[in-house]
Amino acid sequence: MVITGIMLKRLRIKAKLTQRKLAELAGVSQAHVAKIELGKVDPRLSTINRILEVLTEGKKRKCKDVMVEGVLFAKPNDSILRVSDVMMRHAISQMPVLVGNRVVGTIMEESIIRNLSSNIANEKVKNIMGPPLPMVSEETSIDVIRPLLERHQGVLVARDGEIVGIITRSDLLKTIG
């Protein structure tokens, strides 16, 4: 496909950007954008790529678009009985563990099952929790978290340092289509 100035102009208008704003975001002059759109210059590939990146950035889904809000938390001294009851009632497989506002670990059904014993119900979360899930900004592109979800059960989503959501592997599957 050949990228033309007319095509770039349509994309710019669809993105509701002025030539000046597009130029600023792409790191070129407004006059250069105008010449490209009119077909008066043959821009470098790197310039076209920067312009296309700006014009298509808005189409990329961000974590805030797919996260599940209302994250349920556990505390280190909670019993596994209490936590497993919450997990079953809410159909979730992991919970971040908080001390104050700080995430100190993650309790997962996988960890509970791995530690099954006759006294597991009374065991404390702190004794079998795993490391904290990775945390990203709500503005982070979903493309960034895909590799994280290959290694982790979920990703916590934050706004101004406060957890506002979570994205699990199954949440990402819901974005298909």
Residues 6+ apart with CB under 8 A from 36: 5, 8, 43, 47, 48, 51
pTM score, two decimals?
0.66
Instruction: Identify which of 126, 53, 59, 140 has the alpha carbon closest to the alpha carbon of residue 148.
Output: 140
Full pLDDT tens readout for the chain, 177 residues = 678 889 899 888 888 889 998 998 889 999 999 999 999 998 888 888 888 888 876 567 789 988 999 999 999 999 999 999 999 999 999 999 999 989 999 999 999 999 999 999 999 999 999 999 999 999 888 878 888 988 898 999 999 989 999 999 888 777 664
Domains of the chain are: 5-57 (1.10.260.40), 63-173 (3.10.580.10)
φ, ψ of residue 147 to 5 degrees: the values are -65, -30
- pLDDT value at position 61? 78
Residues written for the chain: 177
Estimate to the nearest angstrom the gap between the alpha carbon of 9 and the chain centroid. 30
Q: Is the dihedral of CA 115, 121, 123, 124 positive or negative?
A: positive
φ, ψ of residue 46 to 5 degrees: the values are -65, -35
Estimate to the nearest angstrom the gap between the alpha carbon of 31 and the chain centroid. 36
- pLDDT value at position 176? 61
